[in-house]
Structure 1
């Protein structure tokens, strides 16, 4: 037989931080970081929870007063702790850091149209990345790498700032949709400070910005998401929920968050005119959204038949290849698909 106390413990990072930082660090960890507090300002964390927050902690805390080292869930190894910044510098570099350091991100723009007037009312800013060899990296691969390399905070922030800079090319009466990943934001007052500064620097009216929540299915802490969105509201920004369709969790999220805009998932847009099941989903979302005063937007529209049916259901804002593909140039102002 073996007992739990004698069993081998997984390798973890042991941190020692000043008592004055404890409350704020706990807030940055949220509810799912797997930390074990050992007393005296010492805690044990999974390595990925630490590496994901290194840049954040170094920016918003005086980490010269911290110490770190490897241990386990009982804190063994704390006598060999190094200064935190020295320990962090010794971690192996990752290619995503190199990409961000050389400014390897660009923003493409895809139009969002009002099918009633036939005019563009907004653009969604879509990240594109270029490797050191000059190859394009798909957004999916880019964000998967950010998760694997514990750089989601750094990548998501860089994308927001680049999107705001690129939006200065657009007409001043267009809305600007900017994606963000909720799990990359630990404390909104800290993590979104650079977004506030970028908006001010580039002179964008706050009322034009619509921050789009992506990966809602990965949101486990609804209260944390509400804190982020409350911060957006206080700043005078709007927010949207992406990729909505059928399911209790979707409707629950919609009612709990009550965004300014909700996007119908492209899978329910594709041939919605010929598929009664997809039409029921589109009608159901439209009914709930209208009852809450939420604007409807359909994405992935590629055929006039889809556009017309969705328009009749109340999806007056639409986005998709029917109107324009993402481009590095400002989209043309007139839509002639009809």
Structure 2
């Protein structure tokens, strides 16, 4: 019986190879900032209603029988053919075994001539390399990756964070994308450990200029949490299941992403006084799609300050043409004669950066700088409710961003580099005005003055910087941290995060504070210092008190500060590190 089954699988597998009986399905990868499609991952399936329809079983059988190369070649070929037939846009993610990338036959499959058959460029192809796959020769692999990156192919590392996989491969090859394993994403909305890990990976990615893609998003709550954590892109069943056709993203998903980003922006960037892009948009002339290229050239010649034009249908932007791109298209011995009498829609760029008028300038700057080198200095299109509103140039954007950063820097605490009293006042004023669900946490160190008297101000400053570092590590980027002065700090957070913040802050503070004492004082559990009457007194080691108010409605920031101050006094009367919320 087993022999018959083995024979059947063998015949089925070779029939698949011979008949090229592989179906390619596509799963979209979308931006978690605006819901636009970055590209598609090409996934392979065996013949339906057969034991090898499941890709895991199909590839396992191929590997066990020494046919992995043949199967992967077939799957890649089918993916390119199907993507070409469906006229896919954006990037195409192809799963690749890292040990075959240097093979001569693999390289032949990705020459410019070969891709030209499918009307594709190297920069649209992303080799997705699984981190689970052992790399036989790391140095040779790094050279191979460097070769493909020089040819403008992109590299993604798959399954980051799975099992006990290391992160060395990220620093070794510096990929363009890293894809977080679906087990790391599962139930991340309720798992603080996973949130902390993803938050750390986002910070690493920001420093390393790598984009993060979260795989396996299956619920609305997971998606919302990933947006809050700052993950760049996502894919999964909640967004869209793999399908043989290219289906549009559901409107409810796009609306959710846009709404959550607006909430996040209102909580974080607006509090720092960062203006919206609407305030610096220039309403330049637009062009209809039928306008001839020769007319566009004349318009640009008449006004050398114009960076380009937005092409519209009605009042919806369907493409852009920049001055540089127009020059490239019509230059050369035949460019002008070839294009001059054609409509501008023939050469306009449909892959352009478009933002809503309510997008904060900091966010627009980040989006603009994430573009590839070809489009890095193109102007940004601004819309309102989907209609054309104006444009912003990169020069204007950078100048305004620098101006904002200088203004903010003026009001940062010089020791901890956290927002100081002016920015704290603005944040509290927003809480009073908006009346959304929020929690204000007032943090105060207990017995800090005696510590300063015994150990000196330099050691005291080290503790303040230590507390600031703890807060930055624990509090999400979407929430607010401020340094009032001395040993007083403030956090403004969403209601659902506040209790967790208090517990983590107290736990980590108590676990780390002993490093700032001598072993003798740690053993005693106290220090001796002068009290306010000038007499020696025993003071316990430093603890932290956190007073909180949530969902209260105040008329002024003074009322808010008065209530939280009263709660702080009651909290400080308790022994040890504690947190207390207003009733």
State whether structure 2 residue 108 is matched by structure 1 residue 193.
yes
1:330 equivalent in alignment to 2:246? yes
Q: How many pairs does the alignment contain?
A: 244
Corresponding residue SS for 1:218: coil
Give the corresponding residue for 1:65.
none
Could you say if the C-alpha distance between residues 235 and 95 of structure 1 is closer, same or farther in structure 2, counting changes exceeding 3 Å? farther
Note the residue ranges of structure 2 that are not aligned, 5 or more in a row. Answer: 1-9, 257-583
> How far apart, in 2, do the equivalents of 1:309 and 1:96 lie?
42
CA distance in 1, matches of 2:218, 2:233: 14
Deviates more, 1:159-168 or 1:253-262: 159-168
2:199 equivalent in structure 1 = 283
Q: Evaluate the alpha carbon distance shift between residue 267 and residue 247 of structure 1 in structure 2; reply closer, same or farther with a 3 A threshold.
A: closer
| 1:77-88 aligned within 5 A | none
TM-score scaled by length of structure 1: 0.66
Cα distance change on mapping 1:95 and 1:227 into 2, 3 Å: farther
In the alignment, structure 1 segments of 5+ residues that lack a partner are: 1-92
Partner of 2:20: 103
Partner of 2:404: none
Per the TM alignment, residue 254 of structure 1 is displaced from its structure 2 partner at its CA by 0.8
1:1-338 → structure 2 map (5 Å cutoff)? 95-130=12-47, 137-170=53-86, 173-185=89-101, 187-196=102-111, 197-245=113-161, 249-337=165-253, 338=256
Q: 1:240 to 1:298 in 2, by over 3 A?
A: same
1:171 and 1:154 mapped to 2: Cα distance?
26
**Whole-Å Cα distance in 2 between the matches of residues 287 and 94 of structure 1?**
50
**Shift of residue 222 of structure 1?**
1.5
Match of 2:407 in 1: none
Give the conservation status (yes or no) of the 8 Å contact 1:164–1:202.
yes
Q: Give the secondary-structure state (helix, strand or coil) at the position aligned to 1:110.
A: strand
1:60 matched to which residue of 2? Answer: none
CA RMSD in angstroms, aligned pairs only: 2.3
By relative contact order (CA 8 Å, sep 6+), the higher-ranking structure is: 1
Does the aligned pair in 1 maintain the 2:86–2:245 contact within 8 Å?
no
1-structure distance, mates of 2:238, 2:136: 35
TM-score w.r.t. the length of structure 2 is: 0.40
Matched residue SS, 1:203:
coil
Larger radius of gyration between Structure 1 and Structure 2: 2
Contact 1:96 1:151 in 2 (8 A): no
Displacement of 1:135: 6.0
For 2:26 and 2:184, locate their aligned partners in 1 and report how far apart those are by CA, in whole Å.
Answer: 23
Contact 1:297 1:317 in 2 (8 A): yes
Deviation of 1:195 after TM superposition, in Å, equals 3.2
Please give the per-residue CA displacement for 1:118-177, whole angstroms capped at 9, x wherever unaligned: 22221110001117x866521111111111110111111111111111112455541111
**Could you say which residue in structure 1 is the equivalent of 2:297?**
none
Structure 2: distance between partners of 1:257 and 1:111: 25
In structure 2, distance between residues paired with 1:210 and 1:170? 18
- 1:322–1:247 distance in 2 versus 1, CA, 3 Å: closer
User: After TM superposition, where is structure 1 displaced by more than 4 Å over at least 4 residues in a row?
Assistant: 133-136, 169-172, 246-249
Which shows bigger deviation, 228-237 or 159-168?
Answer: 228-237
Post-superposition shift, 1:105?
A: 0.8
* 1:288 Cα deviation from its structure 2 partner: 1.7
* Matched-pair contact (CA < 8 Å) for 2:26–2:242: yes
Retained in 1: the 8 A contact 2:239–2:249? no
Distance 1:154 1:335, change over 3 A: farther
Conserved? CA contact 1:118–1:336, under 8 Å: no
